[in-house]
Structure 1
Amino acid sequence: MLEIGDFAFDTLSQANVQMLERIEVWGYVSYKVFNPATGKVYKATEEQLNPEGNTIRYDENYLRYVMQLSKIKNETAGGFLSSLASSIIPLPHQLHVLNRAMETNNIRYILADEVGLGKTIEAGMIIKELKSRGLVSRVLVVCPTGLVTQWGSEMQEKFHEKFHVILPSDYDTIRRLTDSNDVYGQFDQVISPMDSIKPLEKHAGWTEERIEQYNEERIYSIINSGWDLIIIDEAHRVAGSSGEVARYKLGSLLAQASPYLLLLSATPHNGKTEPFLRLVRLLDEEAFPNAKSIVKEQVSPFLIRTEKREAIDNNGNLLFKNRVTHLVSLTWDERNNLQRELYELVSSYVSKTYNKALRNKKKNMCLIFLLIIMQRMVTSSTAAIRQSLERRLNVLRSQRTHLGNLTEEDLEELDIEDGVEEALEAISLDMELETEELQMIISVAKQAQFQNQDAKVEPLLEAIDSIMSDDNTQKIIIFTEFVATQKYLQTLLVNRGFSVTVLNGSMNIEERNEAMLEFKNNTSIFISTDAGGEGLNLQFANIIINYDLPWNPMKIEQRCGRADRIGQQRDVHIYNFIVSDTVENRVREVLEEKLSVILKEMGVDKYSDVLDSEVAECDFTEVYMRSVGHPGQVEKNTYPIEAEMKQQLANAKKYKDVIREEKDLTRLVGTEPDFDVDVALRTMMTYYECWKGNDPRLIDRISIGDEEITKHLKTEILQDRMSPLLSVSIANFPNEAGCFMLWELSISDDESGKRIIPIFVNDAMILRPMAGKRLMEVFLDGTSRLTIGTAPNMSAEQYAGLEKLSMEFAYDTFMELKEKQLQLNQESYNKYMYALQLRMEAAEHIGIDNIRRGRLAKLEKEKAIIEAEHKKGAQVYPNFRLMLAVRLEA
């Protein structure tokens, strides 16, 4: 008869259990038993319990199965499982991101590396690692349309992960084919363009009900699709200029739709606190209640950032090549006097109309946008400005003008290619006068085109010929703001015998892919607009020609970033074309002079260091547009932007420290994950199936997320204290008689709080510190030759002696796990208490007494919950259990 406290083997559950209570009713005997491996208490009949112990045969396959399982569990808890070496060799800063991201189970971060450092690769590494650990299976990537192709190809080529692109045009098709409204639920890994799923606030010709229906179908279909991880690329866009814009609403919904969230942005903080506050609140609202919470201590747990200047390769060398900038300045001569006249006429037309539009109480933003486009076009190409002028004239003649829906907020976000159609149909301030003026300007534009080719063409051809003569395999990237100029240059260069590829924002994903491949493999010259060039990786080319210069220097920096990326093998040469005798050139010169002085005063020695952040937020449009009509007042017109630049850079000094991350990347030089989890899993399952007497060839491609694998990883293996021990001798190994053991040390139920420790104690009861690890490596090595037998089990006294020695040896590991848990618990507590204190301070200022008391009472309850969680997290519940004991023969 079994006594309370006795162990027996449950033949049904195939586990050793301990007797807790004997129950006898009407001659039926059963026991309440405890399974220490699972922690479960249940009832078992006397017949199913075998007091003699385990009847299962243990052999070499069982030994190696337990070794592989233990190795995988340790790697899960303390290392990286994703096999990266076969696809990419991670750079030190990318490994740093992976280290940081996997420090805790709360994976909600801003990946804020500067442009060109490979944030897509970093996100892919995190995806792979989370999938390897069985933590995610459904992943959504939301990005600008121009980056969709890059994401899909990077995930496929670098990580062998298939993502399905769902465009707005696909929605109804998928719903019809699947006969399901859950369009996004049809695929586990999806890429969706950002603007195709943002909530609509208005749409020409649509009723509010139609808009609401559209939003319900598109937005909530994707939000409610049960994502494990959501990634938002160019995430600063969803911060918005206010909390009400559609993109921010989209960001807020997505942030709540998944436990894991990655926000990717090279410019997370633009010098203005409010947009950054909105961005970090997507990660954790409670941690960032108001602007006072934007301090380094509060932000750093959520933000991972490497700057270009600190990035190194796997040999410890600086990662990026040099940039060499060439200014190509040209003037209009007699051959181009009509082009000069055209410039002056367009500038006069633009200036007069622009000033009138600004004075109008109801600002016609479509017209203002049209005038901005016209002024920028006239210095781009005669073909571009003539085409737009003619289209505008046709609109006026056919009376197709309307007020339009563009707002000032829209203008801030629009690329020059966006909204052109709507701008061309803007209501005229004086249709008769504008028609007459346009007719006259178009006449001059036609004459200018027939007079001679544009003034910039000859220097362009000379530059290309010079570059090609040095190396005829060179690939050249030409950027322009306008499709019309792009077509003009394409025709010109093709007629000169050059092979040319074009890319612009109107091209769909398939066309973009074809264009990229064509340039990489076949053509010499690539002409792209800014909208078309978004997200391109063109590091196989190192020559960039800016045929026309955007007014915002950030656009130039973005263009350069297409080639100045990881993998660039040569110095990047940049040619900036500018017509010297224009107001635009004078404004540019003055701005650069002023910025140079400001940077010198502030101790910044590299102009490009600020182009991707602070200066980008300055609105340069107004300076140019004010100066067009008043060339003599350029200095005066730049005063406001000079003050704004100073303010932005002053803000930068404050926030640079907030988002800067102190680290030593040299520690990671030459390191990369070397544990292939797929191989380890297949090996483990092969041993298991062989031990069970099954055919191991049935194991095909398995992953850590498979249900069968998850079951194994959750299995708690305990040494049977009643059955005989495995006896092992190892060929060609200095065997010493004793006991090899695997002990599981845990301080919490979380997997990160567990470690499996191999320990060897010889027959003289001396613990050999290095021998346990060495023996585990031998057992993991499938080529090692083992002789397996059985040995008598140990007495309770022997078990106690071995346990005492093993606990002494494992104490340092226990302290390490304990300190890590306490540190993370304290960091979490500090973070939430800091935020709570700010919210309490704000509540104290509520003027209405009962509302103030109610708010403070609610906050006090939150405080009690936080303190209780902190107290609970500070408790350590260590456990030390013997998983396996093996008799090692001499």
Structure 2
Amino acid sequence: MLQIGDYVFDKTKNERVQILEISEVWGFVSYKVFNTSTGKVYKLSADDICAEIPEKHYNESYLRYVALLSKIKNKISQGILSKLSCGIIPLPHQLHVLNRALSNNNVRYILADEVGLGKTIEAGLIIKELKARGLIRRILIVCPTGLVTQWDMEMKEKFNEKFHVILPENYDAIRQITGNEDVYGQFDQVISPMDSIKPLERRAGWTEEKIAKYNEERIYSIINSGWDLIAIDEAHRVAGSSGEVARYKLGKLLAAASPYLLLLTATPHNGKTEPFLRLIRMIDEKAFPNADAVVKEQVAPYVIRTEKREAIDHNGNKLFKNRIIKVIEMHWDERHSMQRKLYEMVSDYVAKNYNKAMRNRGKNMWFVFLLIMMQRMVTSSTSAVRESMERRVRVLEEQAFKYQSMSEEEFAEMELEENMEEAIAAISLGIEEEITQLNDIIAVAKQAEFQYLDVKVEPLFEIIDDLFAEDRQRKIIIFTEFVATQSYLVKLLKDRGYSTSILNGSMSIEERNAVLHEFKTQTDILISTDAGGEGLNLQFSNCIINYDLPWNPMKIEQRIGRVDRIGQQRDVVVYNFILADTVENRVKTVLEEKLSVILREIGIDKYSDILDSETAELNFTDAYMQSIRNPNDIEFNIRRIEEDLKTQVKNTMQIRELIKEEKDLTSMIGAGSTFDFEHALRQMVTYYENYKGNPFLPIENFSINDPIIFEHLNKEIEQDWRMPLLSVSIKDFPNEKGYFMLWKISLISDSREQKVIPIFINCDFILRPMAGKKIWEAILDKDRIITVRKGEEIDTETKNKLYKVSQEFAYDTFLTMKAELEKRNEETYRKYLYALNLRIEAAQRIGIENIRKHKLMTLNREKAEIEANYQAGKKICPDFKPILIAYME
């Protein structure tokens, strides 16, 4: 006679259930039952149940199913699900990033590895893993235009993830073809260039209504598209130089639009607290109410960083090759007399007009930018400066000026190549006088071109000839700041018999891809501008020639970073071309001397250590332009930047300490997972359907989001001590007789706080710690021959002994889990309490009493809530249950 509380077998579902209620009406008996594996309560007729578990329940497929399901649950709880060895074998520092990111349910981090360490790969690993766990589906990657190709290719080639690239020019076409206004909502995985979606502040000829409509369509359509994870590359750009710039607005909107957020930047902190505060507030606004919160203990949970000197390969060896920097100093001689005169005339034109323009800098920003561009060009190539001055004369003669304003923030971000057209159309301070000056200069430039090759050309030919004589298969990269110089060099090198490819900022993504393929497979030399070279991975080359040297040394570092990357097999050789007889070289020499002294005083022996920290914030341009204006007082002109450099270096050392992460990367060697999660899911379902006797053929691409998988992973399997055990024999496996068990330890209901451990206890009730793991591995090995049959029930005394020994063995695991849970709870409590106390301190300074009281009352309520959550987090309800008990024959 069945009783309430009895366990019976549901013949309709082939699962064990517990009777909750028995009812009899008009001779029909029915049972309300509770299914322990699904947590569901439902009714069964008397014909649908039986008191004994059928023999077919005791089979090999059931054993393997429970063993594999338990393994998968363990992986979900704490392991890496994505099969890392499939498309890429992560380096130790990349595995460290993945483990750090997955150590917390709240995946919002700044990935701050130094240049060349593979932050794209790290983000891809996190994306792949979160997808495998079923935590994300809709993913948006925002990056500078020059990096779109890199992201698209690496996601495809290394992670087999297809992303849709949506460019500004694609927007209307997608909407028209699909007939759907929600452009971004139609794709689950999107890459979008940063500047194509940032809010417009203004545009010539556009009304406020038109700008608002544009922003609504472009910005809010992407913001409101329901993303699960957003990754922003070169994220320091969205920190902005002020809280009002368009990129910062974009970053703030994106950060709030997704639960998971990855900000990628090699330079998260440029020495100024405010931009870093804006950046890290995107990750967690509550934790950073003001600048006082920017301290190491508060920042550490959000920033993951490895420096190049820490990075090691899979064998523990230093990851990066050596750099060899060669300075090529050139002097004008009699053959270059007209070039010298051209330089002097251009410098005079720039100096005189610069003085005038700076008297009313606010109105003349574009003209100031034009003068800077002309001074840079005259040391680049005669051809470049002549062409630009000829175009400027045409604008002056036709008075085809463009009336446009520029803020100080915009001026600081201006790039020579990208804004040349606007600069050439700048308003003149005196049209007739400027035309006369320029025509005189153009005449000399033409004479210089006829007189002899530019002074830098012969050294360039010598270096290239020597390099190719040494190795004809090598690839050489030449960097210049100007497209006109690029064209000049292409013709010269072609006449000398070398094949060239060119890259510049005007090229589309498709054109860039084609050029990169051409350079890698066909041509000898790539001639690139800075904008063209952005985001390139060119480690198949190890030679860089800096034909033009930017005033900002950080740009040189970025160029070298194109080849000084993971995968570089040779030492990197860099040639820096310098015109010795110029004011610029004198400024550079003095600056380097000052920097060397500063670095020696602080104990830094490499420029790259400081240059990697974004010296772009220093005003090198002003130092150079003041020296062009007054070349006899260079020491005075650079005094301000010298002081700024001292502050920058000091800040850099403090920042390095602020974001430095103590870790042992050697512990990550060989730690990559070989667990094929998708295969395991398919195999688990196969075992289950075989156990049930269903003719089921698993589909090829199960994911964790499939309803079938979801149902399995939410099953709560528990061994019933009162039922007969499985009796198991593994062929050619040297086990003792005894009891193999899988026990689940749980602290709270969260699956992350659960763990399944294998235990083997022999017939004499002696624990064999290693045997449990080995038996579990054998059961998981599908090639092992295993026999399973119905065994005997165990008596109460045996049950109690097994429980006691197992609990004692599991105690250390429980303590480890408990300590990890308490640590996370403590860290969360500490960081939010620290931030709240800063807010309370600020609120106490509010002058109006009733506002102060109301603010403090609100904050105290928040404090009470934080305290309550902390206390609740300290309470645990540990559980220790057997999932499987089998007798090993």
CA distance in 1, matches of 2:771, 2:325: 61
**Contact 1:152/1:191, CA 8 A, preserved across alignment:** yes
Partner of 2:665: 665
**Contact 1:29/1:45, CA 8 A, preserved across alignment:** no
Deviates more, 1:461-470 or 1:704-713: 704-713
CA deviations 1:517-551 (Å, max 9, x no partner) are 11111111110000000111111111110001100
Partner of 1:166: 166
Are residue 52 (structure 1) and residue 51 (structure 2) matched? yes
CA distance in 2, matches of 1:840, 1:518: 61
CA distance in 2, matches of 1:565, 1:97: 18
Partner of 2:228: 228
CA distance in 2, matches of 1:362, 1:185: 43
Deviates more, 1:559-568 or 1:31-40: 31-40
CA distance in 2, matches of 1:189, 1:82: 18
CA deviations 1:248-298 (Å, max 9, x no partner) are 111111111111111111000000000000000000000111101111000
Partner of 1:128: 128
Partner of 2:449: 449
Partner of 2:746: 746
CA distance in 2, matches of 1:766, 1:629: 89
CA distance in 2, matches of 1:505, 1:785: 63
SS in 1 for 2:57: coil
Unaligned runs of 5+ in 2: none
CA distance in 2, matches of 1:837, 1:11: 61
SS in 1 for 2:729: strand
One-letter amino acid of the counterpart of residue 369, structure 1: F
**Contact 2:21/2:32, CA 8 A, preserved across alignment:** yes
Partner of 1:803: 803
1:53: how far off?
4.7
1:308: how far off?
0.9
SS in 2 for 1:254: helix
| Correspondence list, 1:261-272, <5 A | 261-272=261-272
C-alpha spacing 1:361/1:225, structure 2 compared with 1 (3 Å): closer
Partner of 1:311: 311
SS in 2 for 1:310: coil
Overall identity of the aligned pairs, in %: 62
CA distance in 1, matches of 2:333, 2:582: 13
Are residue 71 (structure 1) and residue 71 (structure 2) matched? yes
C-alpha spacing 1:13/1:412, structure 2 compared with 1 (3 Å): farther
One-letter amino acid of the counterpart of residue 77, structure 2: A
**Contact 2:166/2:192, CA 8 A, preserved across alignment:** yes
**Contact 1:52/1:722, CA 8 A, preserved across alignment:** no
CA deviations 1:763-821 (Å, max 9, x no partner) are 34433322222211111111211222212333455444433332222222111111110
One-letter amino acid of the counterpart of residue 52, structure 1: A
Partner of 2:115: 115
CA RMSD of aligned residues (A): 1.9
| Correspondence list, 1:562-641, <5 A | 562-613=562-613, 615-641=615-641
Count of equivalent residues: 888
Partner of 2:652: 652
| Correspondence list, 1:183-194, <5 A | 183-194=183-194
**Contact 1:108/1:260, CA 8 A, preserved across alignment:** yes
CA deviations 1:307-347 (Å, max 9, x no partner) are 11111112221111111111111111122111111111111
CA deviations 1:559-618 (Å, max 9, x no partner) are 111111111111111111111111111110111111111111111111111012153321
CA distance in 2, matches of 1:280, 1:263: 9
Partner of 1:461: 461
1:32: how far off?
5.8
One-letter amino acid of the counterpart of residue 612, structure 1: D
1:670: how far off?
3.6
Partner of 1:82: 82
SS in 1 for 2:309: helix
Unaligned runs of 5+ in 1: none
SS in 2 for 1:282: helix
CA deviations 1:108-158 (Å, max 9, x no partner) are 111111111111111111111112222222211110000011111111111
SS in 2 for 1:309: coil
CA deviations 1:640-677 (Å, max 9, x no partner) are 10011111112223222101111111222343222121
SS in 2 for 1:859: helix
**Contact 1:82/1:676, CA 8 A, preserved across alignment:** yes
Partner of 2:756: 756
Partner of 1:832: 832
CA distance in 1, matches of 2:577, 2:632: 23
One-letter amino acid of the counterpart of residue 246, structure 2: A
| Correspondence list, 1:221-300, <5 A | 221-300=221-300
One-letter amino acid of the counterpart of residue 108, structure 2: R
| Correspondence list, 1:352-751, <5 A | 352-360=352-360, 362-613=362-613, 615-720=615-720, 723-751=723-751
One-letter amino acid of the counterpart of residue 594, structure 1: K
SS in 2 for 1:667: helix
Deviates more, 1:247-256 or 1:734-743: 734-743
**Contact 2:7/2:51, CA 8 A, preserved across alignment:** no
**Contact 1:391/1:424, CA 8 A, preserved across alignment:** yes
CA distance in 2, matches of 1:744, 1:451: 86
Partner of 2:347: 347
1:721: how far off?
5.0
CA distance in 2, matches of 1:510, 1:323: 32
C-alpha spacing 1:172/1:325, structure 2 compared with 1 (3 Å): same
**Contact 1:92/1:669, CA 8 A, preserved across alignment:** yes
**Contact 2:542/2:563, CA 8 A, preserved across alignment:** yes
CA distance in 2, matches of 1:607, 1:564: 15
SS in 1 for 2:678: helix
CA distance in 2, matches of 1:699, 1:631: 75
CA distance in 2, matches of 1:433, 1:809: 92
C-alpha spacing 1:713/1:43, structure 2 compared with 1 (3 Å): closer
CA deviations 1:3-49 (Å, max 9, x no partner) are 44333344556543444556778988766654443445x45356477
One-letter amino acid of the counterpart of residue 577, structure 2: F
Partner of 2:147: 147
**Contact 2:482/2:529, CA 8 A, preserved across alignment:** yes
One-letter amino acid of the counterpart of residue 44, structure 1: K
Partner of 1:875: 875
SS in 2 for 1:770: helix
C-alpha spacing 1:203/1:23, structure 2 compared with 1 (3 Å): farther
CA distance in 2, matches of 1:671, 1:724: 40
TM-score, reference length from structure 1: 0.97
CA distance in 2, matches of 1:34, 1:876: 26
CA distance in 2, matches of 1:717, 1:823: 29
1:885: how far off?
2.3
Partner of 1:848: 848
